[in-house]
Amino acid sequence: MPNNQQTAIKKIAFIGLGNMGKPMAENLIKNGFALNVFDLNTAVLDDLAKQGANVATSPVDASKEVDMVITMLPAGQHVKEVYLGKDGNQGLLDVVSKDTLLVDSSTIAASDAREVAEAAADKGIQFMDAPVSGGTAGAAAGTLSFIVGGQAEQFEQVKPVLEAMGKNIFHAGEVGAGQVAKICNNMLLGVIMTGTAEAMNLGAKNGLDPKVLASILSASTGRNWALEVCNPHPDVGDAMPSSRGYTGGFMSKLMLKDMNLAKQTANDTKVVTPMADQATALYSKHSEQHGDKDFSSIMAHYDANVLQ
């Protein structure tokens, strides 16, 4: 468990164990936290049970008598259903104690995070939004960045837990601020990935070895995360999604979701985002056929052969 012990948090409910959530939960187990886990994927639950987690039958079951709840869910509607309930079913706010800290690490609209936070506050419960950056590689390595929105006192309480899963823990401001910062990041990442694919394709189609080109760009002013960690060209890095059929990473349909969240916020605040608009259009068309592929598979927009 992290040395910076500022909280008595020992038992955690972790709900949502996809490509990001599962390795995050595994790092909590490795750092000595007791975990109740729930996901619709029973194979994931079986795997975590072998690592010492207690498998729950529902989100409500997982969240009883814990110090903290972490959710990692696909979209705002799922977050609201889990916390607020739906169609007469209980939500977590109906069962957790006032001492239980609630942290949502999903990427959702800031307005959805604030809606849940207000409902929690009405019951005297503390809710924080804490979306992450760093991708599946960062989740596995425990080097994620957490961008937290919430009260400063509660931020300090949950920080040691987040440090078991991440390297950079930021307090962005009040509830919702974490989501705003995250969608700004992912909006930029979507733009950068489309530009990186465009540049890699241009060089490759003009006879450059993709590995050589990537090395040159990485040592030049075009250097960026997508180029070095998640290069969209399939002939650059063995450990990248592009080298395994664009699987096992951040799905294109989720990038499209985040780009649309950014656009929603931009529209609400009358901010212009022309480059993001173009990248969103590309991901919208791409996701019609390849939504489950890693977002670096936008390379197929430039070279259709990479997904054949």
- Residues with catalytic function: 182
Angle subtended at Cα 57 by Cα 56 and Cα 59, rounded to the nearest 5 degrees = 75
Give Cβ neighbours of residue 177 (< 8 Å, ≥ 6 apart).
110, 129, 147, 149
Q: Which of 292, 269, 302, 280 is nearest to 198 (CA)?
A: 302
CA distances from residue 131 to 189, 204, 206, 211, 273 in whole angstroms, order as listed: 15, 35, 40, 33, 22
**Cα-atom radius of gyration of the chain, to the nearest Å?**
20
Give me the amino acid identity at 180. Answer: V
| Dist. CA 83–CA 90, nearest whole Å | 8
Place of tokens 């290069």: 231
Q: Which of 236, 218, 281, 231 is nearest to 255 (CA)?
A: 281
